[in-house]
Amino acid sequence: MKETWRYLAGIAGPSGYGSNSTAEQVIQDSACFVPPHLTAIITGATSGIGVETARALAKKGMRIVIPARDLKKAAGVKEVIQKESPNSEIIIFETDMSSFVSVKRFCSGFLALGLPLNILINNAGIYSQKLEFSEDKIEMTIATNYLGHYLMTELLLEKMIETAEQTGIQGRIINLSSVIHSWVKRDTFCLQKMLSPKNYDGTRAYSQSKLANILHVKEIARQLRARNARVTINAVHPGIVKTGILRASYKGFLTDSLYFIASKLLKSTSQGASTTCYVALSQQIEGVSGKYFADCNESKCSTLANDESEAQKLWMQTHALMQRYLYLPAA
C-alpha cells in the first residue's frame, strides 16, 4: 500500500526522482554529466519509450544507433530528433529483433563502422495475443523480447568492454523488463516450453520474457564482475505506460471508454523513459550492476528473478540454443 501511494503521489525516492519524473528532468540533472562522443544503441526506438529515450540521449550529444525493422518509421524518428538536436548523429540499420540472422547481421555491420560502444539499451518489446512464430520457428514474444537481446548483448559485449578500457568511461547495458515478471511461477518457467508453447497465453508469454530479461541481467553482471570489466548491466521497469504494447494487452478485456479512464493513471512516454535515462546516465549509480530499477530508484524484483542459479541455467540453455542456430563459440 505504501509503494502504491508513493507511485500515485509521485513522491521522490532516494535518487530524488519518482513516478512523475520525466526523461527531460533526468537528463538536465547535473548528476547526468555526459562526456562527448559517446555512442548508444537503442532497440525499439521507433515508437513509445524507445523514441523518448533516443530523443533524450541525442539532446545530451550522444550518437544514436537505431536497429529498426521499419526503416520508414526510423527515418521519421531521425527527422524529429534532428529537428530538436540539429547536430545529432543518428545511424539506422534494418534489423528484425526476432531473427537471429538479422541481429547477427546488425552487430557485424555496427562493428564494421569502427565506432566505440558506451551504452546498449535493450528496449524493443512486443505483446502478442495470438501465437506467432519467428523465422527461426520460435514463439515471437520470447524471440523478440529476450532471445534477440541476449544475442545482441553477446555479440557486442567485447566491444563495450574494449571501449570502457580505452576511454576510462564505464559502459552500461540496460534491459527493459516489467513488474509483471513477478507473476511467473518457478514451475512454469521453462525455456524449452517457451520456445514452442502448447497452450499459448499472451500475458504469460510476455511476463516470462520479462523475467528472462532480469535473469539475463543477473548472469551477465556476475560474468562482468568476474572479469573485472568496467561495464554494468541493470534491468528497469518503466512503469505502466501509454504505449501500443499496453493497448494490445488490454484489447478484448477493456472497452475503449474504460481504457480511456484507466489511461489517466498511466505514465506518459517521457515519464516511462525516465528510469532508462537515469540508469544509462546518472553518476549516482556508477558501478552499480545486476540490479532492478523502477521510478528511477533501485527496487525489489521477485525471488525467482533474484535466483543466481536460475539465471546461470537460463544463460547456459540460451547459449546452447544459439550454438545450434549460429554456431557460436562454446561457453
275 neighbors 239 (Cβ within 8 angstroms): yes
- Compute the radius of gyration of the chain from its Cα atoms: 19
Distance of CA 265 to the CA centre of its chain: 23
Among all chains, which residue has been given the C-alpha cell 513509445? 48
What 3-state class would DSSP assign to 63?
Answer: strand
The dihedral sign for the CA sequence 248, 254, 256, 261: negative
Angle separating helix axes 202-227 and 148-167, nearest 10 degrees: 30
Beta-bridge mates of residue 236 = 176, 293
Closest CA to 205 of 253, 256, 265, 134: 134
CA distance 146 to 130: 18
Coil, helix or strand for 110?
A: helix
Nearest Cα residue to 237 out of 298, 289, 191, 184: 298
146, 200, 206, 259: the catalytic one is 200
The string of DSSP letters for 235-299 reads EEE--SB-SHHHHHHHBTTB-HHHHHHHHTTSBPHHHHHHHHHHHHH-GGGTT--S-EEETTEEE
Residue 325: active-site member: no
Q: 96 with 119: CB under 8 angstroms?
A: no
Strands 297-299 and 292-294: antiparallel
Q: Which residues are catalytic?
A: 200
